[in-house]
Amino acid sequence: KTNVMFLKTHKTASSTVLNIMFRFAERYNLTVALPADQLFHLGYPRTFLAHFVEGFEAIGQNYNIMCNHLRFNPLEVKKVMAANTFYFSILRNPIPLLESSYIYYKNNVPAFRSSKNVNEFLASPTKYYHPADYRESIYARNIMWFDFGYDNNAEDDAKYTQAVLEEIEQNFHLILIADYFDESMILLKHALCWDLDDVIYFKLNSRSQDTVQTLTPESEEQIKAWCSLDWKLYLHFNQSFWRRIEETIGLEVLEKEVGHLRTRQKELMETCLSEQEAVRKDHIKNKGLLPFQSGAANILGYNLKQDLDNRTLRMCQKMVMPELQYTSYLYTVQHP
């Protein structure tokens, strides 16, 4: 399948998925719906409109791939993407997700800025969080719910949440789970009829361990209540994810293919990288491959081996290229 829409959610390993999508688009010479005016988001946090896509007036419904951040709006996305488009997204357990958001958006979100650490914020979130600063504060509560186009401050009412879950099931063919990333890639590969090399990746936009704050057991429980819409979303689609695997691939085949994926990934790391792992921002030699840094996080990147032949170098560069650089690069290719 070559017509694919990926709803890129925040702090869910979605930058790694975006890189997979961009490389796939290049490999098969596909057109990507890039943000207009050389921006990096498709209008986010505004609700998506078709004219947020560069060249939409001229190109119309002839885009193959859409994967930059946007706030989902199915009717407008359908104006851009073909009728047979495959829609998928990714969710993450709201407990590590909120801690990750806290560190990453520490300086942007008033609710995070005015609290000392994540546990202090969670002890009494309403003290710091004001729904009225919604633009700045979306990252502090039910961010996934918001990315899917819904009100992240809505009352958690059983009838309402059920209706939203059903609507998401109608709009999306597949919802992956970041906490099982390799398994997700195998499921995606099967759903899209892609090759293993189409879903090989190096982990992008991750941060150093020393910027991770430890949540207290009380904070973990508090997240389930404070982000109860995201919690319900996650529980629901985590179940359907494993059900989908059992019905389509089976756990045995899954395990075997995850093994192949990891072996191939290790081979590519040995081919491409001078260190066999991601390195801290101050150790990245080529500043062109430095990922965007945010908040109190130290976002890791990679160093490529010297003396790679041109073809290998190009492939390796694309695998480690951070989101903003890759978006800019595709922009110059598609809109010279």
The tens digit of pLDDT for each residue in 204-233 reads: 999 999 999 999 999 999 999 999 999 999
Asked whether residue 132 carries a pLDDT value surpassing 90, the answer given is no
319: pLDDT confidence band, cut at 50, 70 and 90? very high
pLDDT of residue 131: 87
191: pLDDT confidence band, cut at 50, 70 and 90? very high
Sequence-ordered list of residues with C-beta below 8 angstroms from that of 325, at least 6 positions apart, any chain: 288, 289
141 phi and psi angles, rounded to 5 deg: -155, 125
Judge contact between 178 and 184, C-beta under 8 A: yes
Q: According to DSSP H, which parts of the chain are helical?
A: 14-27, 56-59, 74-80, 94-104, 110-113, 118-123, 125-128, 134-137, 143-147, 158-171, 181-192, 217-226, 228-248, 251-272, 310-320, 323-334
* CATH architecture for the domain at 4-256+319-334: 3-Layer(aba) Sandwich (3.40)
Q: Which residue do the tokens 């951040």 mark?
A: 69
50-76 pLDDT, tens digit per residue, is 999 999 999 888 999 999 999 999 999
Residues 322, 131: Cα–Cα separation, whole Å: 32
pLDDT of residue 238: 98
94-131 pLDDT, tens digit per residue, is 999 999 999 999 999 999 999 999 999 999 999 999 98
The answer to whether the bond into 96 is cis (omega within 30° of 0) is: no
Burial class (CB in 10 A: 0-12, 13-18, 19+), 157: exposed
Asked whether residue 27 carries a pLDDT value surpassing 90, the answer given is yes
Overall average pLDDT of the 280-298 stretch: 94
135: pLDDT confidence band, cut at 50, 70 and 90? confident
Overall average pLDDT of the 3-22 stretch: 98
Domain range summary for the chain, segments of one domain joined by +: 4-256+319-334
Judge contact between 82 and 3, C-beta under 8 A: yes
